[in-house]
Structure 1
Amino acid sequence: MGIDRQIVGADLATVLPQDNARWWTKSHLVKLNLMLFSAILFSGTVGYDNSMMNGLQALPQWKEFMHEPKGAYLGLVNATQALGAIFGYPCMAVLANKYGRKRPIYVGCFVLAFGTALQTTAQNREMFIASRAFIGLASGFFGSVPILITEAAYPTHRGKMTASYNTFYYVGSLLAAWATFGTRNYDNSWAWRVPSLLQVAFPGVCIWGVLLCPESPRWLIAAGRVEDARSVLIKYHAGGDEHSPLVTFEMAEIEQAIQMGRHNTKSTSYADMFKTNGNRHRLFISVSIGVFGQWNGVGVVSYYLAAVLQTVGITSVTQQTLISGFLQLFNLTVAVWAATLVDRVGRRVLWMTSGLGMLVSYIIITGLSGSFDTTKLKGTGLAVIPMLFIFYGFYDIAFTPLLVSYPAEIWQYELRSRGVAVVQSSTFAALFFNLFVNPIALDSIGWKYYIVYIVILIVLCVTIWFAYPETRGMSLEEIAKVFDGDDAALQQGVILSAVEENMAANGVGKDVEHMDEKQCNN
């Protein structure tokens, strides 16, 4: 079986080009991937913000300006951003369904620019906290980016492209970590204002590619703009070939799936997520991914690394910011590598490896932290540092590439934007709780707080094993069979029959012979 069949399924694989040419030799795929790559970079805006706030907590200049935030007050400063995002994602879902996948991105850029200006010019701590809400709101609007990537990417590139979205979170984290390291010795407020100002760098660079990027063909078809959708697929999936079997197949499959979805659901709302066993299963996965994405211990490290390092005796500002910088570089490397594995090993393998790895490493971190608290041995405290890297490495294997891409592919078109909104709202709701509670708990009981996350990680592993199905080797329309069972299988049969009729009417035949392994690079 050729690898194309493992990536997109047997039916779609039979109509892929069989010219054995590498994708980077095809100008239409190069253009499409470059535009989608620019969209991928938007995840760096969230990563930059999170890492920047971690770095600011190590700067005396920022702590003085904010009146030495600790405990509940520090939690409020960080949690305000999450609160803004919780409101932003539902707004994104409405805009993405009504006006297309690209419009919310433009709104997000405007809101982020306003929030950045407010934060950079803040004259008091209240102004700074208010700016955090706008920056969080912008993050919510950027939630349409992975939907656009999922629906516009070339079939054999969809898995890797969508999984890559969240990995570039660490590009932003890396830049923020080194920005705060570079300004740490400024003797005035520009030590934190410069990193704040740089938050607009990502949208400024990325927006040009998004402006040129085609709108989602699935949204265009749903909006009644069938010929526009066909033009997009012909131009970017078939390189201008109007008679491409791939375009004929994709158009027929998408049209039939959307028509059947509308027949089964007259109107879509969040209430539809509760109406069928398949949707309830998807909803459970979406909420649990969002919650587990933050309630696994990573929230302690990502926002309160300085506090964690202080508990094991590392108090130097230079050392704290330096460790943060190298941690983000390590995260980026592992996350990008993991994104390349989604079609090779499948989603479940990555999920389970991530969960079990985090559990074991967090147990070791807890043991080392407890030992240092008792013995005060410097070597024991330093041993926590490599374990933090190992823990984050296992987190990056699944929770970075799959946090957004997995929900985006399991939800059917009608509910995809709302499904992604549920995941991200759950993520930021869990993050809001973490950001508010974590500093209080760390101040009160120190390393003992880690035990809570050990228990949660055990629950996480059990949930993944029993509730997260494999989706490798299926098109977006075929994945419905995994969740909706016989009804979806029957619908898929109807769709395929319609596809074959459509292709026959257009004089296109499907070659069902097995493809050579070399075709995997098309």
Structure 2
Amino acid sequence: MALPPKVYNFLCACFAANGAALFGYDLAVISYVLIAKDFLQTVGMGTGIGSPGYNENFIGFIVSSLLLGAFVGSIPASLIADKFSRRTAIVCSGLVFLLGGSLQAGAQSAGMMLAGRFFAGFAIGMLGVLTPLYQSEIAHPSNRGRLGATFQLFIGIGAFVAGWIGYGCSVAQPGTALEWRLPLAFQMLPAVPLVFLTFLLPESPRWLMIQGREEESLQTLGRLHARGNINDTFVQGEFDLMRRKVLEEAALDQSWGLIFSDRTNLRKVIYGIILQFSVQMTGVSAIQYYAGQIYQSVGFEKDALLINSINNVIGLLGQVVCVMFLDRIGRRPPLIWGNIIASVCFAICTGLAKQFYDEVGTKGQGIAFVAFIYIYNFFFSSCIGPLSWVYPVEIMNTAIRAKATALTTMAAWLANFMIGQISPIAFANIGWKYYLVFTVCGATNALTFWLLFPETKGRTLEDMDSYFRNHPWIVPGANVEAVDGRTREKELADNAVEKDAGEKPHENRLESV
């Protein structure tokens, strides 16, 4: 018996999200690697903070070289995806990641480690574009948020696995090469199915439509949304709307100039860049990359890695909550309230961290610091992180989606690179005051989203252009009707029925919803 269409869609999205698991794993594992003595000796950093040869700048670059690679990999991903297909580009990224993972696990010097981090990052940069792109283009309007949120969910799964493997190796093999080589080798596992099984997935129907392969596009829509039935009314309605939109866009310049010459396209790219940059300014990467040092600074010398592994579990729970409820709640409320709570948590953590830098901190204050980091991580994972992958890709039209997503994702890697590079220096020089940056940014993020970011829940990808062209820049006070995804799907089906019956379809209504 064939799976229900939305279950099948969800499973396809989860498979593609293996690419996010690679990012999540690398994101989390480095905090365990950086405090392994054998690793530090291998890359010429002595035995740790304060030892001869230890250099905060170089440690920061080991972390941030992954993000530098991701930044570079974003544009090639969009070019391959547009030229050769979304699936082909995903396979290419998996191959590059296997190269990067092999270099890291077998590193014999600092240069080899940096090369491995760069190539792994290059692949992650590709997947940061390709996975949300593919997920958005196969989804129903009513569950596009759920499918897109699996990207952050699999980041959490990757971090969860990395945390416990890293912790287990630090306990079982302290001071040995296996303490860090085994966790780095394990990261290659999710890349294997991406390389060998991706072509079993259906291709993006929108990419097929762009290529003029309309019959294949219709067959794929039927496979994705109606158990293979191409005569299903929703499939017919969706196909008709998609075809009209692609034909409309075909008359336009298909180069990068289409992004910068059209005010609405440029506005959407700016929104995506703001959102991706704002995520890093909540402090998430500083906590993830330097967790060992951070927890040690508030009195947990022996349990820092265990605390971080538990934090990965909390993040995973938050991501599950997001997948379950995002399409019901919408995009604006999680972004606004998630950032408000993040700001409050960091404000409290700032005061607690100051006590330890003044050498008067107590065990209770250390526990409180950890508790508020856990609260922060839950709300980041359920409200902020997933939206950074869902919102930018869903607001773009088909003609620019791959290229525009590459630009917005590059902003994520650039901000991530910045945080990874400056955090060890900031912790060493200004200590607890560094947390004030994230306190302020959380509050300004919330204000920005409240003022500027329209709600996109329930709308089809083809609706987004007319929606943004007609939506004012300032959101509060704008008279815009909310859309339910299931209602939108029914409208598409009804439109197909009316067209088959010889009646004129409600094109004006479709364009204005």
Out of 327, 342, 359, the position equivalent to 2:326 is: 342
* Structure 2 partner of 1:309: 295
What's the CA shift for 1:403?
0.8
**Are the equivalent residues in 2 in contact too, given 1:167–1:400 (CA < 8 A)?**
no
CA distance in 1, matches of 2:28, 2:471: 46
What's the CA shift for 1:398?
2.3
Q: Cα distance 1:395–1:255, how it changes in 2: closer, same or farther (>3 A)?
A: same
Q: Cα distance 1:508–1:228, how it changes in 2: closer, same or farther (>3 A)?
A: farther
- 1:429-473 CA-to-partner distances (Å, cap 9, x unmatched) read 011111111100101111111112222222212211111110112
Out of 20, 33, 37, the position equivalent to 2:10 is: 33
Out of 359, 377, 389, the position equivalent to 2:374 is: 389
**Are the equivalent residues in 1 in contact too, given 2:94–2:191 (CA < 8 A)?**
yes
CA distance in 1, matches of 2:426, 2:459: 44
- 1:305-361 CA-to-partner distances (Å, cap 9, x unmatched) read 112112212222xx1111111111110111110222222111101111111000111
Tell me, yes or no, if structure 1 residue 192 matches structure 2 residue 176. Answer: no
* Structure 1 partner of 2:208: 220
- 1:204-262 CA-to-partner distances (Å, cap 9, x unmatched) read 24555522111000110110100000111122312232321112111110011111122
- 1:468-504 CA-to-partner distances (Å, cap 9, x unmatched) read 11011211111223311189x9xxxxxx999988755
CA distance in 2, matches of 1:508, 1:364: 64
Letter of the 2:289 counterpart = Y
Q: Cα distance 1:183–1:26, how it changes in 2: closer, same or farther (>3 A)?
A: closer
CA distance in 1, matches of 2:453, 2:221: 31
Letter of the 2:428 counterpart = D
Q: Cα distance 1:398–1:182, how it changes in 2: closer, same or farther (>3 A)?
A: same
**Are the equivalent residues in 2 in contact too, given 1:469–1:482 (CA < 8 A)?**
no
Within 5 Å, which residues of 2 pair with 1:497-516? 504=498, 506-507=500-501
CA distance in 2, matches of 1:486, 1:405: 20
Out of 340, 353, 357, the position equivalent to 2:341 is: 357
Letter of the 2:212 counterpart = G
**Are the equivalent residues in 1 in contact too, given 2:496–2:505 (CA < 8 A)?**
no
Out of 239, 252, 264, the position equivalent to 1:251 is: 239
Tell me, yes or no, if structure 1 residue 371 matches structure 2 residue 358. Answer: no
Tell me, yes or no, if structure 1 residue 114 matches structure 2 residue 99. Answer: yes
CA distance in 1, matches of 2:323, 2:10: 15
Tell me, yes or no, if structure 1 residue 177 matches structure 2 residue 154. Answer: no
What's the CA shift for 1:511?
12
CA distance in 2, matches of 1:344, 1:25: 26
Q: Cα distance 1:501–1:364, how it changes in 2: closer, same or farther (>3 A)?
A: closer
Tell me, yes or no, if structure 1 residue 428 matches structure 2 residue 413. Answer: yes
**Are the equivalent residues in 1 in contact too, given 2:19–2:124 (CA < 8 A)?**
no
* Structure 2 partner of 1:268: 255
Q: Cα distance 1:509–1:241, how it changes in 2: closer, same or farther (>3 A)?
A: farther
Out of 387, 391, 409, the position equivalent to 1:406 is: 391
Larger CA deviation: 86-95 vs 52-61: 52-61
CA distance in 2, matches of 1:70, 1:372: 23
CA distance in 1, matches of 2:315, 2:503: 46
- Aligned to 1:296, the other structure's residue is in SS state coil
TM-score by length of 2: 0.88
* Structure 2 partner of 1:294: 280
Q: How many residues align?
A: 478
CA distance in 1, matches of 2:229, 2:498: 17
Q: Cα distance 1:511–1:418, how it changes in 2: closer, same or farther (>3 A)?
A: closer
* Structure 1 partner of 2:307: 323
CA distance in 1, matches of 2:304, 2:5: 45
Letter of the 2:186 counterpart = L
Q: Cα distance 1:148–1:57, how it changes in 2: closer, same or farther (>3 A)?
A: same
Letter of the 1:76 counterpart = F
* Structure 2 partner of 1:235: 223
Larger CA deviation: 59-68 vs 218-227: 59-68
**Are the equivalent residues in 2 in contact too, given 1:268–1:414 (CA < 8 A)?**
no
**Are the equivalent residues in 2 in contact too, given 1:334–1:396 (CA < 8 A)?**
yes
CA distance in 1, matches of 2:495, 2:427: 64
**Are the equivalent residues in 2 in contact too, given 1:36–1:209 (CA < 8 A)?**
no
**Are the equivalent residues in 2 in contact too, given 1:256–1:498 (CA < 8 A)?**
no
Tell me, yes or no, if structure 1 residue 78 matches structure 2 residue 88. Answer: no
Structure 2 residue runs of 5 or longer lacking an equivalent are: 46-53, 473-479, 481-489, 507-513
* Structure 2 partner of 1:481: 466
Structure 1 residue runs of 5 or longer lacking an equivalent are: 1-23, 490-495, 513-522
Q: Cα distance 1:153–1:117, how it changes in 2: closer, same or farther (>3 A)?
A: same
What's the CA shift for 1:368?
0.7
**Are the equivalent residues in 2 in contact too, given 1:286–1:407 (CA < 8 A)?**
yes
- Higher relative CO (CA 8 A, sep ≥ 6), structure 1 or 2? 1
Q: Cα distance 1:28–1:474, how it changes in 2: closer, same or farther (>3 A)?
A: closer
Letter of the 1:215 counterpart = E
**Are the equivalent residues in 2 in contact too, given 1:58–1:321 (CA < 8 A)?**
no
- Aligned to 1:58, the other structure's residue is in SS state coil
CA distance in 1, matches of 2:353, 2:283: 14
Within 5 Å, which residues of 2 pair with 1:53-132? 53-68=30-45, 69-132=54-117
* Structure 2 partner of 1:51: 28
Q: Cα distance 1:449–1:82, how it changes in 2: closer, same or farther (>3 A)?
A: same
What's the CA shift for 1:402?
0.8
Letter of the 2:35 counterpart = A
What's the CA shift for 1:140?
1.6
**Are the equivalent residues in 1 in contact too, given 2:395–2:461 (CA < 8 A)?**
yes
- Aligned to 2:470, the other structure's residue is in SS state helix
- Aligned to 1:267, the other structure's residue is in SS state coil
Letter of the 1:470 counterpart = E
Runs (4+) of structure 1 exceeding 6 A deviation are 496-502, 508-512
- 1:373-415 CA-to-partner distances (Å, cap 9, x unmatched) read 2213222122211111011112112222111111111111111
Letter of the 1:75 counterpart = G
CA distance in 1, matches of 2:384, 2:260: 25
Tell me, yes or no, if structure 1 residue 161 matches structure 2 residue 138. Answer: no
Larger CA deviation: 368-377 vs 80-89: 368-377
CA distance in 2, matches of 1:218, 1:510: 25
- Aligned to 2:222, the other structure's residue is in SS state helix
